[in-house]
Structure 1
Amino acid sequence: MSSTASRPTSSPPRNAPGAFPPNTNANTSTGTRAGTGTGTGTLCALRTHLRRATPALLAYAAVRLVGLLLLNQWAHHQHHGVWPILATQWDADWYLGIAHHGYTHHLGTRYDANNLAFFPLYPYLVKAVAVLTPGTRATTGLAISIAASFLAAWGVFAVGHHLHGRRVALLLTFLWAALPVGLVQWMGYTESLFTAFAAWSLYAVLTGRWLWAGTLASLSGLTRPTGIATAAAVTVTALLSLRHRFSPRALAAAALAPAGWLAYLGWVGVRLGRWDGYFAVQRLWHNEWDGGVETLRRVREVLVQDSTPELFLVTVTVTLLVSVVLYALCVWDRQPLPLLVFTGVLLLIVLGSGGVYFPRARFLMPAFPLLLPLALHLSRASSRFRALAVTAALLGSAYCGAYMVLVWPSAP
């Protein structure tokens, strides 16, 4: 498979690594601004963006609804309720606990028991929104995740459209929706919210909106530990852009991007009374970085040593291996620097962790730029092949999602 073949002439040119777009004052993705100095132009631009992305958002909704339908039928046969699975179990329970009771004040010695490992933006958002809405906090958390998933899908589409045009962007959004663990996008987890911040932050970098890029990167750093990947993408790109032209906004973005992530780590350190407080918490969760030793051991165990490997672990392992191959293709395709930095740092964190193995595919869900080579390949394939690939991805995602939460004995 090669994603370096000539692109349709209607697709906008890609930015090479290290190439930076003009300042937004001279260039917008929607053409000439209307109503300079008022909100009219911004509103018109937003409507244009949304209208352009509508087919992708409908495709995204279709993928998620097919997965939800299969999950509902499977859960009914097993006498399980779907709502508790999506809204209250596993990591969702931890976030709801933080929303209800806040964070612990002590490090403790119990493994896998300290809620300071979970970043604060999502649970506090659940707590704040629940005050203004009917229903339980669990319902509010699920609603926030679903709403954020559409914002994330829109952001994924925006990046794809900016780089390669509508067809590739539509396929990219579909492929992100149809990931094997895509069901998590509609669970009380942080992956959708984080992907929304990351995708729009990367889009802001690609279009020269530095302050937006830094702000969204900072918010991603308050959402998940891997928010440092978004911060690195913005900060590295902003600092390198200063070689070509000094920009106070780019400099501000470089400083702002890691602020959320650093603020939470600093707060945990103060709360626990030790400078390495957050990393001490992670050690209690077995999440020390070992350079990939544990990952390689588990890959070998699943693919070589275990005569009857568990299906879900095979799915996770294949996802990790394919992600490495796709990253190599991204480098070969000379993706824009911020995308390469974002996915590269995310891969380093996930593959280099010595922690628990089975959620690794979920941890890589926000790395949507890895899917660009596949989207490009499908955009150039025959209609028949594309239809078969799309159908297989849709059904595979629906099955894997239901299997993950109903059969796999641990958790997503």
Structure 2
Amino acid sequence: MPELTTRTGPPVAAPARPTLTTRAAAALRAAAPALLAYAVVRAVGLIVLGITATAAGKSPHTLLSARWDSLWYARIATEGYGYEIHLPNGDIHSNLAFFPLLPALERAVSTVTPLTVPDAGLLVSWLASLAAAWGIYATGARVYGPRAGVALAALWGAYPTAFVQSMAYTETLFTALAAWAVYAVLTGRWVWAGALAALAGLTRPSAAAVVAAIWITAAVAAVRALRSGAGWRWDARMLLGLALAPLGWLSYVLWVAVRNGGPFAYFEVQAGWGNGFDGGWALAGFVWENLRTNAAAGLGLIAALALVFWLLWRCVRMGLPLPVLVYAVAMVAVSLVTAGYFGSRPRVMMPAFPLLLPAAVALSKLRPAAATALLSAAAVASAAYGAFTLLGPGPP
């Protein structure tokens, strides 16, 4: 009987593992429709602002780069901390109320480019807005699919106060860091989540919502594991992420305490601006005052608050993943339980992008033509409101 032999060829190399650059490029290609949709929505806002501002004899560039908080950030970038304004009623507005990451980036960009500090602030804000739209898309796509992710990014660009996303403000930078931190928790990247949360804490005090999303998700996972009888072993990367998350906010608060010589110095600075935790009493008083003096305005405020709570309820009913839901709830809470200028509440709440998920999921189920029509209407309405607000006397 002839001997059977097996012919073997040269060894086949295992497929190469995709590099970080390759994975990033693939992720960017997947997010391209969302980034394009977001950019188009914001372009509508800028075009409407440009037309209306020019007609009113004002500079769109100045409206976006050199008004209100933008001026404070630019002064920090050029002169550092220490500037303050003493008001006739005795209050002191100190620039220590503003967190350092945006002015640090403004200073860095203006140093290495020909851009002025205000223009550097615009560049940082606009690039951060794209990073935020990408992170928002990534989160929405992971939970409800790519079409919902695209709709979510576009809706965030059409948020009523989305004009702030085109200003030299911190909202886009904070939202980019927060959205990617939430996405990192969803994908089990705890160190990334903690590092991004720490950077968010150097951007805005509302980073407490990001920290809550990380810590509560980890705590619930531990409790569930213990109750199941499987036991719980702390992952070193998870512990590092949990430790990193609050360091940005804490480091700045401690720095202000050391600088001003008091453990509560940061909170005293905020009190000088009329800000601070009050459990929502200032908001309730504002609503009541409007009801008493202008019933239509008061009822409008109540309707807006009811809409926010209804959206939160819808998010709960939809069964959003825990970090996404906790982040949304915490952002709303941070926005409503503090004292301060009420006109800024919608802007402060703008990073709570999960509130738009119910609408994004509904849009993703429509035919493309219908979804495009609705998003176009939202973009035009947002643009008109933005132009009206920016041409007005008060800050957003």
**TM-score where L is the length of structure 1:** 0.85
User: Are the counterparts in 1 of residues 84 and 92 from structure 2 also a CA contact under 8 Å?
Assistant: no
- In structure 2, what is the equivalent of residue 65 of structure 1? 43
**Partners in 1 of 2:149 and 2:342 — Cα distance?**
31
In terms of fraction of residues, the more helix-rich structure is: 2
Deviates more, 1:340-349 or 1:207-216: 340-349
Q: How big is the shift at 1:389?
A: 2.4
Q: How big is the shift at 1:303?
A: 5.6
User: Are the counterparts in 2 of residues 217 and 258 from structure 1 also a CA contact under 8 Å?
Assistant: yes
Tell me whether 1:286 sits opposite 2:271 in the alignment.
Answer: no
User: Are the counterparts in 2 of residues 75 and 81 from structure 1 also a CA contact under 8 Å?
Assistant: yes
Q: How big is the shift at 1:337?
A: 1.1
Q: Which amino acid aligns with 1:111?
A: D
Deviates more, 1:290-299 or 1:316-325: 316-325
Q: How big is the shift at 1:143?
A: 0.5
Unaligned runs of 5+ in 2: 1-13, 226-231
Distance 1:61 1:384, change over 3 A: closer
Matches within 5 A, 1:376-391: 376-381=361-366, 385-391=370-376
Choose which of 235, 238, 256 in structure 1 pairs with 2:244.
256
Tell me whether 1:364 sits opposite 2:349 in the alignment.
Answer: yes
Tell me whether 1:192 sits opposite 2:172 in the alignment.
Answer: yes
| CA offset digits 1:358-395 (Å, max 9, x no partner) | 01000011100111111112223455653442222111
Q: How big is the shift at 1:202?
A: 0.4
- In structure 1, what is the equivalent of residue 11 of structure 2? none
Q: How big is the shift at 1:340?
A: 1.7
Residue correspondences, number: 373
Q: How big is the shift at 1:405?
A: 0.5
- In structure 1, what is the equivalent of residue 358 of structure 2? 373
Tell me whether 1:208 sits opposite 2:202 in the alignment.
Answer: no
Choose which of 206, 222, 226 in structure 1 pairs with 2:206.
226
**Partners in 2 of 1:148 and 1:403 — Cα distance?**
24
Question: SS at 2:203's partner residue?
Answer: coil
Distance 1:129 1:320, change over 3 A: farther
Choose which of 74, 82, 85 in structure 1 pairs with 2:63.
85
Question: SS at 1:231's partner residue?
Answer: helix
- In structure 1, what is the equivalent of residue 378 of structure 2? 393
Q: Which amino acid aligns with 2:279?
A: G
Choose which of 133, 141, 145 in structure 1 pairs with 2:113.
133
Q: Which amino acid aligns with 1:90?
A: W
**Partners in 1 of 2:209 and 2:295 — Cα distance?**
36
User: Are the counterparts in 2 of residues 232 and 258 from structure 1 also a CA contact under 8 Å?
Assistant: no
Q: How big is the shift at 1:410?
A: 0.7
User: Are the counterparts in 1 of residues 82 and 94 from structure 2 also a CA contact under 8 Å?
Assistant: yes
Distance 1:318 1:91, change over 3 A: farther
Q: How big is the shift at 1:87?
A: 0.5
- In structure 2, what is the equivalent of residue 410 of structure 1? 394
- In structure 2, what is the equivalent of residue 3 of structure 1? none
| CA offset digits 1:127-147 (Å, max 9, x no partner) | 112110112111111001000
Q: Which amino acid aligns with 1:169?
A: G
Q: How big is the shift at 1:319?
A: 4.6
- In structure 1, what is the equivalent of residue 328 of structure 2? 343
**Partners in 2 of 1:212 and 1:238 — Cα distance?**
14
| CA offset digits 1:141-179 (Å, max 9, x no partner) | 100100000000000000001111111111101110000
Larger radius of gyration: 2
**Partners in 1 of 2:35 and 2:102 — Cα distance?**
23
Deviates more, 1:96-105 or 1:75-84: 96-105
Q: Which amino acid aligns with 1:121?
A: L
User: Are the counterparts in 1 of residues 198 and 249 from structure 2 also a CA contact under 8 Å?
Assistant: yes
User: Are the counterparts in 2 of residues 210 and 253 from structure 1 also a CA contact under 8 Å?
Assistant: yes
Identity, in percent, stands at 42
**Partners in 2 of 1:159 and 1:411 — Cα distance?**
31
CA RMSD of aligned residues (A): 2.2
Choose which of 21, 41, 46 in structure 1 pairs with 2:24.
46
User: Are the counterparts in 1 of residues 83 and 94 from structure 2 also a CA contact under 8 Å?
Assistant: no
- In structure 2, what is the equivalent of residue 55 of structure 1? 33
**TM-score where L is the length of structure 2:** 0.89
User: Are the counterparts in 1 of residues 315 and 325 from structure 2 also a CA contact under 8 Å?
Assistant: yes
Choose which of 284, 289, 297 in structure 2 pairs with 1:296.
284
Q: Which amino acid aligns with 2:30?
A: R
**Partners in 2 of 1:385 and 1:66 — Cα distance?**
19
Tell me whether 1:268 sits opposite 2:246 in the alignment.
Answer: no
Choose which of 308, 330, 345 in structure 2 pairs with 1:323.
308
Q: How big is the shift at 1:331?
A: 1.3
User: Are the counterparts in 1 of residues 184 and 190 from structure 2 also a CA contact under 8 Å?
Assistant: yes
**Partners in 2 of 1:281 and 1:154 — Cα distance?**
34
User: Are the counterparts in 1 of residues 86 and 92 from structure 2 also a CA contact under 8 Å?
Assistant: no
Q: How big is the shift at 1:329?
A: 1.1
Choose which of 142, 145, 150 in structure 1 pairs with 2:122.
142
